[in-house]
C-alpha cells in the first residue's frame, strides 16, 4: 500500500531543522549548512548534480533510498523559495535550476495562485491552495501506486504529523547545535505516542533514526 513518508530529514542535536533568516544566500537559514554535510559528501548526492566522486557506505545507501519507490513529493512554500506573499512574477522556479532532482510531480503548499511549472527531467511543480489533504490526494493520484514523500520544511511535516497522516519518518541527527531557527517537533504534543523507532543506524557523520506508525 502506498505510504506517506519523510526520508533523510536532517536536524540538529537541539532539534532545529533550519536556521533563522532564510534568504537567497542562506536557503536553509543562517548557520544551518552543517546539517546537510553528510548528504553533500555522498556519491548519490554528487551524481544527482552531475559530479564525480563522493563517499559510499551507510550515508550513501540511505541517500539513494530516499528516491526509491517515490512517485510524487509534497513541500511547503518555504522549501520552494524564500519569497513571501503573492507571486510577483514567474521568474522563480525553485532552488534547483532547470533540471530539478525530483523527476516526478511536486506539490507546493501555498496561499497564492500560480500556474504549474514543467521543467526538464519530468519535474512539474503544482501549486496547491486548498490545504494539506488536497495536496496529499493529488500527490497520491499522481504517484500512481508509489509512495509520496514530504520534502519539507519543518512546518509542512508538522502539519501532516499532527493530522496523523505520516506513515514513516526517517530523521538524520547531525552532531551540531544551532541554538535558534525552526524546530520540527514544536507544538506536536502527543504525536510521539503514535510512532516507534524501528531502526537506528549510525555513520561517522550522523545518526539515522527510522520511525514508523506504532503497531496496535
pLDDT in tens, 62-114: 999 988 999 999 999 999 998 889 998 889 999 999 999 999 999 999 999 99
Residue 80 to residues 23, 107, 205: CA-CA distances in angstroms? Answer: 12, 10, 27
pLDDT in tens, 143-197: 999 999 999 999 999 999 999 999 999 999 999 999 999 999 888 777 877 899 9
Looking at the predicted structure, is the pLDDT value of residue 48 above 90? no
Mean pLDDT (the chain, rounded): 93
Domain boundaries, the chain: 4-14+28-84+103-213
User: Does residue 153 have a cis peptide bond before it, meaning omega lies within 30 degrees of 0?
Assistant: yes
Helix (H) or strand (E) holding 202: strand 195-202
pTM for the whole structure? 0.94
| CA distance linking residue 187 with residue 167, whole number of Å | 19
| CA distance linking residue 128 with residue 107, whole number of Å | 7
The CATH H-level superfamily of 4-14+28-84+103-213 is Dihydrofolate Reductase, subunit A (3.40.430.10)
Q: Which residue has the cell 510521539?
A: 192
Give me the pLDDT at residue 135, please.
98
Amino acid at each position: 500500500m502506498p505510504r506517506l513518508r519523510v526520508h533523510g530529514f536532517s536536524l540538529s542535536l537541539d532539534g532545529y531543522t533550519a536556521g533563522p533568516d532564510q534568504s537567497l544566500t542562506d536557503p536553509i537559514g543562517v548557520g544551518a549548512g552543517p546539517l546537510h554535510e553528510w548528504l553533500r559528501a555522498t556519491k548519490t548526492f554528487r551524481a544527482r548534480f552531475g559530479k564525480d566522486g563522493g563517499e559510499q557506505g551507510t550515508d550513501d545507501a540511505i541517500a539513494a533510498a530516499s528516491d526509491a519507490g517515490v512517485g510524487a513529493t509534497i513541500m511547503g512554500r518555504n522549501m520552494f523559495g524564500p519569497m513571501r506573499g503573492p507571486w510577483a512574477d514567474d521568474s522563480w522556479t525553485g532552488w534547483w535550476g532547470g533540471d530539478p532532482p525530483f523527476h516526478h510531480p511536486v506539490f507546493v503548499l501555498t496561499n497564492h495562485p500560480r500556474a504549474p511549472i514543467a521543467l526538464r527531467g519530468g519535474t512539474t511543480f503544482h501549486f496547491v491552495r486548498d490545504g494539506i489533504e488536497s495536496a496529499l490526494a493529488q500527490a497520491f493520484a499522481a504517484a500512481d501506486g508509489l509512495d509520496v514523500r514530504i520534502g519539507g520544511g519543518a512546518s509542512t511535516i508538522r502539519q501532516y504529523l499532527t493530522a496523523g497522516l505520516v506513515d514513516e519518518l526517517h530523521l538524520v541527527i547531525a552532531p551540531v547545535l544551532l541554538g535558534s531557527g525552526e524546530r520540527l517537533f514544536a507544538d506536536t504534543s502527543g504525536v510521539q505516542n503514535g510512532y516507534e523507532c524501528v531502526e537506528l543506524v549510525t555513520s561517522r557523520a550522523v545518526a539515522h533514526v527510522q520511525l514508523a506508525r506504532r503497531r496496535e
